[in-house]
Structure 1
């Protein structure tokens, strides 16, 4: 899928990774519709800092079907360019102190699941519908299906290496990201006849404001258990991986790990402090 003269939706578009991906799309001659939760006026001001002519902002709640439908309708008609891509960066990592009572985690995990997993389903589904509607025959019968050999779209969902390496610290976060990866593989198969490719990227720790006070803990953990390089990922390293998945038309149903060979595990060595004390929170 070429980026040039095509429109791409970027969710979480005002975050560190989202902004960098949006700039990369524009640098390649594309256009971006940024979706995020920031109030519309403030979001528009932020989008103008990316580009005044090739970026627009739509305040969107990815867990709300009508909100996402509205965003995709706007994206379909934006810039008078073809809507061709979705890069779904939006997600959260909600944390709380460690607890022996699992019942204390239920509300938080439910919220994370709604955003990280259900939000991915809603956004991917409605993007695919927006692409398919452009090609749907006017007199198409109900239930009628079609197949194309033309590449018509590409979806890149953000998973995490936590989805492939569940551990106690990421009790609620990792299963949701595993669901994103599994869903994306199934969706790639489902959308094959529509000419829409689906892949995931699975980063480890991204060097962004979202990490906040937890970043020193992760830097220390990376120094012990990453192969190389043992450091957080810079947003530009995410955007270059996303560009590869967009531009290479043979990449489909693939999970691209961006992790420096980091291995997530719980260190219960007898000569170390309780890992529940060392870890900043339970996610």
Structure 2
């Protein structure tokens, strides 16, 4: 999909990988709306991009629908949705204090898997109203053309969850697992769905990790042996948007790293 002139929303766009994605989209000529928590830096980020900020708590599912509707109205349409909002907690299936708290497990599923699905289904509804973009491919004559791209965020913890990550791993595995099915659901509409599974990246969640600890966390990476940078996530997100053959999968962005059990 040609990025210039397209309408994009970025959930989690106030910081980290979401902010880098919003900035790169805007630099490539897209109109961008930033959606993030109230009290975040979203308003400043959006202002710098010439876009608008829409506060949202992604675990408020009805509120998310209202915020997305407002963002689409302000943009005048929707072609691209990127979701990086999410988070985790550390708790073993059975710890010294007893079994994993069930409400805590549900909260992590809501924050990651349910919120991501909610955003995706709502974004798809908006995208379905677009005029299809001509792929300029004579062999695609039987297709409908492209109407939108949905980029979601999983994690390599979906595949190699560490001790205490059972809720987070389950949530991120759900995001990876829904990609192909959702792409099949939406394929006849010309809407693609791809998830990115990053390793450890330089975000607000990792800022407090000491330098020596960072080195230990990435020692098993092939190359480069460092935390990923938000702009590297953004580059992959834009490559997904640009390339119509990327669809229905979860792409690892991990420098060849595989998490150990701890």
Give the TM bin, normalised by the shorter chain: 0.7 to 0.9
Q: Following superposition of structure 1 onto structure 2, how do residues 187-206 of structure 1 map, counting pairs within 5 Å?
A: 187-206=182-201
- Partner-residue secondary structure (3-state), 1:172: helix
1:63 aligns to what? 59
Q: Following superposition of structure 1 onto structure 2, how do residues 1-283 of structure 1 map, counting pairs within 5 Å?
A: 1-39=1-39, 43-48=42-47, 50-51=48-49, 53=50, 55-80=51-76, 82-95=77-90, 99-133=95-129, 149-214=144-209, 216=211, 217-223=213-219, 225-266=220-261
Q: Which moved more, 1:88-97 or 1:59-68?
A: 88-97
Task: Give the root-mean-square deviation of aligned CA atoms.
Answer: 2.2
How far does the alpha carbon of each residue in 1:4-27 deviate from its partner, in whole angstroms, 9 at most, with x for none?
111111000102111110010011
- Residue 212 of structure 1 and its aligned partner are, at CA, apart by 3.9
- Residue 104 of structure 1 and its aligned partner are, at CA, apart by 4.0
- Partner-residue secondary structure (3-state), 1:249: coil
Distance 1:166 1:86 in 2: 27
> How many aligned residue pairs are there?
250
Structure richer in helix, relative to its length: 1
Change (3 A) 1:180 1:196: same
Where does structure 1 lack aligned partners over 5 or more consecutive residues? 136-146, 267-274, 276-283
TM-score by length of 2: 0.88
Distance 1:19 1:25 in 2: 10
Conserved? CA contact 2:116–2:152, under 8 Å: yes
Q: Name the larger-Rg structure.
A: 1
TM-score by length of 1: 0.81
Distance 1:155 1:79 in 2: 17
- Partner-residue secondary structure (3-state), 1:213: coil
Conserved? CA contact 2:159–2:173, under 8 Å: yes
How far does the alpha carbon of each residue in 1:149-208 deviate from its partner, in whole angstroms, 9 at most, with x for none?
110000000001111223324222111100001112210110001110000111000012
How far does the alpha carbon of each residue in 1:193-229 deviate from its partner, in whole angstroms, 9 at most, with x for none?
1110000111000012222434653431211x11111
Distance 2:188 2:64 in 1: 24
Conserved? CA contact 2:87–2:108, under 8 Å: yes
- Residue 64 of structure 1 and its aligned partner are, at CA, apart by 2.4
Change (3 A) 1:151 1:3: same
Where does structure 2 lack aligned partners over 5 or more consecutive residues? 132-141
Change (3 A) 1:39 1:207: closer
